[in-house]
Structure 1
Amino acid sequence: MPRPDARPLEGHDLNWHTALHRLQEDAQPHVLATLVGAAGSTPREPGTKMVITPETSFDTLGGGTFEYQVIAAAREALTRGDTAPSLEAFPLGGRSGQCCGGYVHVLIEPFAGAERRIALFGAGHVGQALANLITPLPWRLDWFDSRPDAFPPWVKCEPAPPRLKLHSSGAEPAAASAAVHSLSPGSDVLVMTHDHGQDLALIDALLKRHDLASIGLIGSASKWASFKRRLMEAGHDPDNIARVRCPIGIAGANGKRPYEIALAVVAELMTLAAARPDEPDRRGIVPETLRQAFGPDR
């Protein structure tokens, strides 16, 4: 489903490069499909492109069953969470149901959208410094505060910063629970409101979700000791409570200025996204595939 804060696209009439620019700016998942090789009679020439999202497509590679197959392959790549390009061959006959008689190779380049999803609770000095650091990155930021006037003026300017959505959440525990319920699975959550009661209510609600990437709480060791005691009294087991990082920030960063703290927190977030140990040494399109597609016999 598209994000509710994403700008609406204009459907099939939008050309591929305008759609690509908009989707990349908003960090929406999409695929750029490029016809890179052709032989025989084909509906379009190499270099033709189209953009495909989970819901729609922009421009055309020539239409017909062939294009339907390209769209299906692109959406399968998005569903799998692919990030590497792939080269697909489509004969324009047989399975394609088209009578052109040629064949084409299409480069499928998936873009998963935002690389990270950050949920930031609190628009105080550290929260504002964090937002300044996060918004230039290819990360989506959902920023919450119970005080609508707490957000800095720059986030309300036109055009609004891409990939940023503001949320005015209530201060009561029920509002904290609703805000936590709205978070996307896989979010990295940072809690730093102006009120310890709100912080505790948020942590209590966050620990009831087991599909979040990480939970971080700003505060001292004594604050966290008090919170741990109250969370255990509320029924959370020690292993679940241990999911919370407090204090937050990369080890060894001892600055106390808001921007220094924010830098340490962003650096820590980057260390949490370590490469998977089973990631293969060879990535992308293997040379054998390229030789088969574009060798001298083609």
Structure 2
Amino acid sequence: MPRHDTKASGTWHSALDRLQRQARPHALASVVGTAGSTPREPGAKMVITPDAVHDTLGGGSFEFQVIDVARAALSGGEGGSHLEAFPLGGRSGQCCGGYVHVLIEVFTGAEMTVALFGAGHVGRALVEILAPLPWRVLWFDSRDDAFPSEVESHERLSCRRIAAGSEGADVASAVDSLPPGCHALVMTHDHAEDRALVDALLRRGDCASLGLIGSASKWASFRRRLADAGHDAAALGTVRCPIGIPGAKGKRPYEIALATAAELLTLKPDVQRPDRLGVAPEVLRDAFTPPRD
């Protein structure tokens, strides 16, 4: 029997509210039907994350199995809901001898992760635009007191200072800290730092996209030096510079931020949804319709 020693304090509804606001992966397990002797009644719920459990469905082997099923679904990275049946005397090995149907709803968390390097005028405007979206933003800057105090407590925003290294900002460590598959945007206050970041991001090679603020002439200069550093044409061709949706006009920081946010929307993964979502009607009918004599 696997150990589950990650019980967290708090009720399922407080955990669900917090995780929804943080756009973090989690699953909601709800008892929706019972027969015979069971640990909890219909309506009992628990919230499961990859490393914690909030509230309880009654404990024992049955609860461990619910946690295992929920975490397996979370590890698959696909949202949705499905119904699981647990015969407590058979599958769960409990003495209750009853039968429990559990609805497991999986929330995959943030739709996108954006790594934003630079807390200048455009960076601040972009964070303001992205704040209402269910995206996680990892915001970096190498300057002291670069981040506005009012956003440092935002639940889907992580403000991270790039530490000083022996030759300036330690951009390599900042880039190494990123999760795979994030969308990186480089717009710092310093061209040398921008170039070092693009170099490190290209060497890492697993960003979903990479954008650099600036003009075509800035990119031409960067491109030559990055090519000299060993990056081939295919890698350099993945860098977008200037950033922003094509055709957008305006040079004000908020205008550039709007165009950049619109461009990110075009890069958002296109999730193909099946024609029918959730638990199949016939499964629900069989689960909840009492047998006829």
Provide TM-score, normalisation by structure 2. Answer: 0.91
Q: 1:254 to 1:233 in 2, by over 3 A?
A: same
User: Are the aligned partners of 2:169 and 2:193 in contact in 1 as well (CA < 8 Å)?
Assistant: no
1:31-65, CA deviations, whole angstroms, 9 ceiling, x for partnerless residues? 11000111222111111001111112111111111
* 1:105 partner SS: strand
User: Are the aligned partners of 2:142 and 2:169 in contact in 1 as well (CA < 8 Å)?
Assistant: no
Task: State yes or no: 1:281 paired with 2:275.
Answer: yes
1:141-176, CA deviations, whole angstroms, 9 ceiling, x for partnerless residues? 1111111222223224xxx11121212214646611
The partner residue of 2:49 within 49, 53, 59 is: 53
* 1:94 partner SS: coil
Query: What is aligned with 1:222?
Result: 217
Query: What is aligned with 1:134?
Result: 130
**2:159 counterpart letter in structure 1:** L
**1:168 counterpart letter in structure 2:** R
Q: CA deviation at 1:11?
A: 4.5
Separation of aligned partners in 1, 2:133 and 2:204: 26
Query: What is aligned with 2:181?
Result: 186
**2:18 counterpart letter in structure 1:** R
Q: Which runs of 5+ in 2 are unaligned?
A: 1-5
Q: 1:43 to 1:14 in 2, by over 3 A?
A: same
Q: CA deviation at 1:286?
A: 2.1
The partner residue of 1:290 within 279, 284, 287 is: 284
User: Are the aligned partners of 2:162 and 2:169 in contact in 1 as well (CA < 8 Å)?
Assistant: no
Query: What is aligned with 2:159?
Result: 166
User: Are the aligned partners of 2:143 and 2:161 in contact in 1 as well (CA < 8 Å)?
Assistant: yes
Separation of aligned partners in 2, 1:19 and 1:142: 22
Separation of aligned partners in 2, 1:282 and 1:246: 41
Query: What is aligned with 2:150?
Result: 154
Q: RMSD of the alignment, in Å?
A: 1.8
Q: 1:173 to 1:183 in 2, by over 3 A?
A: farther
Task: State yes or no: 1:102 paired with 2:95.
Answer: no
Aligned residue pairs, count: 285
**1:203 counterpart letter in structure 2:** V
1:74-115, CA deviations, whole angstroms, 9 ceiling, x for partnerless residues? 000111112111111111111210122221111111122222
1:101-150, CA deviations, whole angstroms, 9 ceiling, x for partnerless residues? 22111111112222211111111110000111122222111111111222
Q: Which runs of 5+ in 1 are unaligned?
A: 1-9
Q: More displaced, 40-49 or 67-76?
A: 40-49
Query: What is aligned with 2:40?
Result: 44
* 1:62 partner SS: coil
Separation of aligned partners in 1, 2:71 and 2:128: 33
Q: 1:153 to 1:96 in 2, by over 3 A?
A: closer
Q: CA deviation at 1:198?
A: 0.7
Separation of aligned partners in 1, 2:249 and 2:225: 28
Q: CA deviation at 1:27?
A: 2.4
Query: What is aligned with 1:242?
Result: 237
Separation of aligned partners in 2, 1:269 and 1:113: 18
Separation of aligned partners in 2, 1:205 and 1:93: 56
Separation of aligned partners in 2, 1:285 and 1:95: 21
Task: State yes or no: 1:233 paired with 2:228.
Answer: yes
Separation of aligned partners in 1, 2:277 and 2:247: 34
Alignment of 1:114-133 (within 5 A): 114-133=110-129
1:261-288, CA deviations, whole angstroms, 9 ceiling, x for partnerless residues? 11111111111114145x4333322222
Q: Percent identity?
A: 64
